[in-house]
Structure 1
Amino acid sequence: MSSEYTKTLPSQTQDRQPGREAEMRPRPDYEPRYPGSDRLKDKVALITGGDSGIGRAVSVLFAREGADIAIVYLEENEDAQETKRLVEREGRRCLTIAGDVGDSGFARAAVDRTIKQFGKLDVLVNNAAEQHPQKEIGDITPDQLDRTFRTNLYGYFYMTQAALPHLKKGAAIVNTTSVTAYRGSPELLDYSATKGAILAFTRSLAKKLADQGIRVNGVAPGPIWTPLIPSTFTADKVEKFGADTPMKRPGQPNEVAPSFLFLACEDSSYVTGSVLHPNGGDPTES
């Protein structure tokens, strides 16, 4: 990002992924902006990466709309407990499950725990991701390539495979892809490749499950202020994050969460295989 862009955030970094929302300045905005209207009344949603960022905002919004929530996260216990508190503040139950979505056995166990706790599963949100910028393609090690694909793509397959036997007619799957799937990113080659694969996975799975009455859609966020940002980029890039969008700022998680709600509830009953683009005006090819 060139120096011509204005500062949008305080300079900061974090030294480990996944990042911690509790350490961010300012904290991302997760609060829903309007009263609930029971659009997910008595539904059960399982949300990967639900401890922070977009996942937290989606969890709290779904709870406000009447859903019980299971959140899957890697090991950010403080963030996960805060999300649990926020969901319960909305009057709904919250199950927290720590583990690696890139492990097929864990994916099955996470779904099994959700079913044991709540008795059913209505909405699966595949959202967990990681990214590791590299200036040159040769700098992407086999370990990094495997790790990025295992979390970002394999995890979506594993969670979907585990959830499908429990999803009934009217259920919904919402996958998080990215603006990078459409416009690319020269320093996030492996991440962008996974997000493009998620786009194809979403469209293909939508056709596969249409006869079962299960809808599959995606959300492709642009630059959103989440823990992934300070834990990925240098301080000078963080402080200009989102400045190159037409809106000249990063988005907040609570500006993205309504896209997930629309695709998870009956408002979108005639929508499948589609992607919504909360990206600050960044032009994309849909």
Structure 2
Amino acid sequence: MTPNQDPRTRYPRPPMPAQQQPAQPGLTGRMEPPPDHGEGSYTGHGRLAGLRALITGGDSGIGRAVAIAYGREGADVAISSLPEEVEDAEATRAEVERAGARCAWLPGDLREEAACVELVSRAVAELGGLDVLVLNAGVQRERDANAEIEREQILEVFTTNLVAPLLLFREAAPHLQPGASVIVTASIQSFNPSPDLLDYAMTKAALVAFTRALAVQQGERGVRVNAVAPGPIWTPLIPATGWDEKLVHFGEDTPLGRPGQPAELAGAYVYLASEDASYVSGAVVPVTGGKHL
């Protein structure tokens, strides 16, 4: 058995190299250092064998790590992303298929209701049903003080982070049978909001309410609903947020002294989708490097 590694030094520590992404949500290939999605480290044990999962934002970051882990645990997956994220999506699909699982890439802009409806319909058709819905896609941008945000910018964040999950669940609900699972990507921002992420933090707080209310409602149907609350995680979204000095020190304020890697969240999503979590619903699982929710 390999001994546990020191979590303080397992992955790169700040200062992080200065870098920028041209647009949200960002591309993996432009990141330095490259994030770890579990490509060389995650070992599956058949914990999700036979399940069918739809993962939004599954092309990169946390979504890619979840897709890889699910594939290696025996689940077939469908991933969504924006159409222009084809390079990252293809890389994710290749990793999932290398594990012997099926992976369908279903591009679309989830700010559009028609795209949400089509995504669920195509995922069900491609996979032959749906057992796990991972509502992970999101957007964040650095904001100026005094809520100096254009209305269209607010709507972009709210539509992506809040409206789309509601619409996706609405479309998925008829396909979710007893034993199915819904997993929401919340954030430490849900509980400890940063002023420069004002609108993003609002949406993440609302997603916790969504998770808890939906868990009560869906319990009667035998469908579990939970959330994962990541802390500072090294994904393409981070250099695309607009930070400069803050990026250099990203994750430095955690007790472990560094940002987390997407691979370090995969186990939480596997657990919540598995039978090991059969009595877990309405929970928010923190993966924060020691920062309190």
- Measured against the shorter chain, the TM-score band is over 0.9
Whether contact under 8 Å (2:42, 2:263) holds in the other structure is no
2:199 is matched with which residue? 190
1:171-250 → structure 2 map (5 Å cutoff):
171-250=180-259
* 2:57 maps to amino acid: G
8 Å CA contact 1:223–1:242 kept in 2: the answer is yes
Moved more, 130-139 or 83-92: 130-139
CA displacement 1:165-202 (0-9 Å, x = unmatched)? 11100000000000011011111110000000000000
Alignment of 1:15-26 (within 5 A): 15-26=22-33
Q: Which residue of 2 aligns with 1:43?
A: 51
Matched-pair contact (CA < 8 Å) for 1:134–1:140: yes
Q: Which amino acid aligns with 1:193?
A: M
Q: Quick one: which amino acid aligns to residue 105 of structure 1?
A: A
Q: What's 2:10 paired with? A: none
Amino acid at match of 2:267: P
Distance 1:121 1:252 in 2: 28
Separation (CA, whole Å) in 1 of partners of 2:202 and 2:146: 12
**RMSD of equivalent CA atoms:** 1.2
2:62 is equivalent to residue 86 of structure 1: no
Q: Which residue of 2 aligns with 1:27?
A: 34
Change (3 A) 1:138 1:34: closer
For 1:3, the equivalent position in structure 2 comes to none
Aligned to 1:146: 155
Going from structure 1 to structure 2, the CA distance change for 1:34 and 1:80 (only over 3 Å counts) comes to closer
Q: How far off its partner does 1:114 sit?
A: 1.1
The amino acid of 1:48's aligned partner reads T
Deviations 1:145-184 (A, max 9, x none): 1110000001110110111111100000000000011011
Distance in 1 between the 2:42 and 2:23 partners? 34
User: SS of the counterpart of 1:174?
Assistant: strand
Separation of aligned partners in 2, 1:186 and 1:117? 42
Q: 1:258-277 maps to which residues of 2 (within 5 A)? A: 258-277=267-286
| 8 Å contact from structure 1 (residues 101, 158) kept in 2 | no
Give 1:133 shift.
1.3
Cα deviation for residue 212 of structure 1 reads 0.5
User: Separation in 2 of the partners of 1:92 and 1:79?
Assistant: 18
TM-score by length of 2: 0.93
| Aligned match of 1:67 | 75
Structure 1 residue 34, shift from structure 2 partner: 4.5
1:137: Cα distance to partner? 3.2
Whole-Å Cα distance in 2 between the matches of residues 24 and 229 of structure 1? 10
Return the letter of the residue paired with 1:96.
W
- 8 Å CA contact retained: 1:55, 1:127: yes
Match of 2:19 among 8, 12, 17: 12
The alignment status of 1:121 with 2:130, answered yes or no, reads yes
Q: Report the residue type matching 2:15 in the other structure.
A: T
Rounded Cα–Cα distance in structure 2 between residues aligned with 1:140 and 1:227: 22
Matching residue's letter, 1:66: G
Change (3 A) 1:13 1:90: same
Query: How high is the sequence identity, in percent, across the aligned residues?
Result: 47
Alpha-carbon separation, structure 1, partners of 2:118 and 2:14: 44
- Runs of 5+ unmatched residues, structure 2: 1-12
2:8 alignment counterpart: none
8 Å Cα contact 1:102-1:158 kept in structure 2: no
260, 266, 282: which one pairs with 1:251?
A: 260
* Aligned-partner Cα distance in 2 for 1:29–1:128: 18
Contact 1:137 1:189 in 2 (8 A): no
| Structure 1: runs of 5+ lacking an equivalent | 1-5
